[in-house]
Amino acid sequence: MSSTFETVAGIISETADIPREKITPESHAIDDLGIDSLAFLDIAFAIDKAFGIKLPLERWTQEVNEGKVPAEEYFVLKNLVARIDALVAAKAA
């Protein structure tokens, strides 16, 4: 399991009060973990701080709402972690 996933899972567990063992790379943040939009902003804040990035949540939400991208692309944790890694890499480049 990547260190990014471990960090994100820890953030979700602490911020949304979800037992850590329930959080897997296949978990869908909304459908499986029941995280609502306000709680996700708290999680985004913690992720932004932990990784020194800015998750483009509004763009993602708009793309999902417009049907351009399936929600799984952003909100299944393995995909979220991949996007975080990409943002971190882009920042370092």
Partner 1 sequence: MRLEYFEMIDTVVALDREAGRIETRSVVPAASPVFEGHFPDHPLVPGVLLTETMAQASGYLLLARDDFARMPFLMAVDKARFRAFVEPGAELTVEARIVHEGSGYAATAATLSAGGRRIADAELRFRTMPFPAGLDGRMREQAARIGLLAGAPSA
Contact footprint for partner 1 (CB under 8 A):
38, 41-42, 44-45, 48-49, 54-59, 61
Q: Round to whole Å and give the CA distance between 21 and 1.
A: 13
Smallest separation (angstroms) from partner 1 to the CB of 44 = 6
Helix axes of 57-65 and 37-51: crossing angle, nearest 10 degrees? 140
CB-CB contact of 30 with 41 (8 Å): no
Q: Which is nearer to partner 1, 24 or 71 (CB)?
A: 71
Smallest separation (angstroms) from partner 1 to the CB of 30 = 16
Q: Which is nearer to partner 1, 57 or 88 (CB)?
A: 57
CB-CB contact of 36 with 42 (8 Å): no
**72, two tokens:** 């799984």
Q: Which is nearer to partner 1, 34 or 45 (CB)?
A: 45
Smallest separation (angstroms) from partner 1 to the CB of 21 = 27
